A and B are shown apart, each in its own frame.
Chain A
């Protein structure tokens, strides 16, 4: 049971073989047993989890079960929840408890899900390793001396170690896909505008998008189906987005005739050769399943990281201005005057990486530099979007490695921000283009998972789900488990 998928738990709940309370208790026990090693959860209210599970069982006793009835889902600390603290893993939000649920939290509750705790993340989602968290480093279950990726590292670690069957993440430049890849699980970033951002703490508003982190493709579709949909409270949530039949998209497991683009810019010198080999092998597998592999070019890829590191910090510099010590969160002791209160509260409340990005963003937006940085970055962003539009004239989907490397050691890159930024080199471009993307396991290198990334045109998550389901059905990679966390699992 512990390494079960959402779909399997759902089947057992529907068959009456177990209850939501039993399932919740199982995962609570596993969190208790393993979280000290992993630091995947930074907040857990066990009584609240059990209360939700009891309510779900009571609902099931009287009604038709809802789509996620009784299914435990862990929540990244970036989603505001009425229950418990919401900290974005930052000291600046010390003491903050949101008086509201994020829109997607409301939707998951309405779908019957049991929300479990808050998972660790890089502070304000700024990072690729979950090492900048105010609550300490999160660990990768495949090797606890290594990072789980980031920023949704806590969610990835929790799902990979079966401390939760599924989790929510957010993805601004790869923060769902990269940790999913490094932890050997499945992660989906929907099209920008597919899922409401309301109540999700903003990092870079034009890039942020929430999505699921799960043990297989179908589970990702199940959770996204509950999350997606127009929200009149988010002006960037698209009202007339084409609706999808998420689960049906997973059932079409036929790759025959599917044109898969293989962009040369994503198979480059300097990437891990084991990763390259695993992804090449996955593409050959797809070819064997009837797909056509088409060599393509996305010529502006090399500018994606630079473009991202102008736009995302610029937006962040404004988004994080509200943490000023005036109304909520951390305020310094005994401020001398207003300026002292601002500077000391923010100095004490934000970590080094967050400060670096605020400064970078404020600089890029400042008078005299705006044209050279922000405006230029927006222009390049348009070119990157056009790259993809042109590519999708030739191919149906694009496949790439999710990350150029497997999980690296804790502390390995913390002193070198630029190297850390390059961890997202393959995931960033599609955020800039607003496109949907997905990562699924496609191999192991030295005992560490490798991720295969799928990219589709806007609103065509069905193509991602179809391709990924077909590939998944033909391999065992998503069934791999980190043995260190299987031992105490037992059977429910």
Chain B
């Protein structure tokens, strides 16, 4: 059996984004976003019978039973893949509702990455970073910017990809954040601003790197049947997949350090969905770093390996461009909510609720996740 159109995203919710706007703990931000998503779907919190808390260590399934008074939670799981977790959870939730285990699965996240412990500084506390922690952290390979930079450097050396091409991604994403109206970064950014920003881990400059944010976001995944009776237009999950790179825990030992988990996941998701990359009208691409967007565009098949730099030039990723990407401002300029905000935005776009950032006529799009040194996840959706 296939998960094709067995599940739908029925509710979306998020907190205000922007430094100093949020009040409360990571747990309360998560609850606030979850209640918003459940209300958006037209459900009661007691209707939630499945939950996949993103494995940030903030909330467990029990917290939702306790806070919402859920009488009979039938399904709980985690998909601990860092930034690939949220989109990977769509596949897990779709499997649960498709098989009748439950009907409405909540996918919540909340974090205080700005005011609390910085994410970039504590990755080595996670078990999936154990190998790097022992063998590379003592050498100075401390944070994700440093861990990923050699992939970007090799791409540049092999294919001639430039820092100005990476800047195109940051600049376009910032423009979208400003259109969004609910974003952490609100000042226009130019390619020159990017080129003048301080070097973090060569080739990554400050504006190649994503934000550290306080906030929350959540979505509800329901069975496609149950979704018919709910408040919002249905957004059906046509295809979903996760993929893990070879040598998943350490990039240094990966046979091809450019190859990421999405290379395995994307063909599966497209086959399930019965569409091709040329059918995609809007794409929310996980953007912890600009280069990671560029490389995922290649792995999905929007262009050939090595051609990502040319593909993103000339505002191609802008609204009205060849492939509108990260129409909400992404992790680079809206907020770092591990990509849950990417799912929220894709659903908003496909419902036609994108506001000033709406891609005209968009009814079919995709969202990706990327994390833990290259795990990948993807979901292809359509309004229907």
Q: Do A and B come from one complex?
A: no
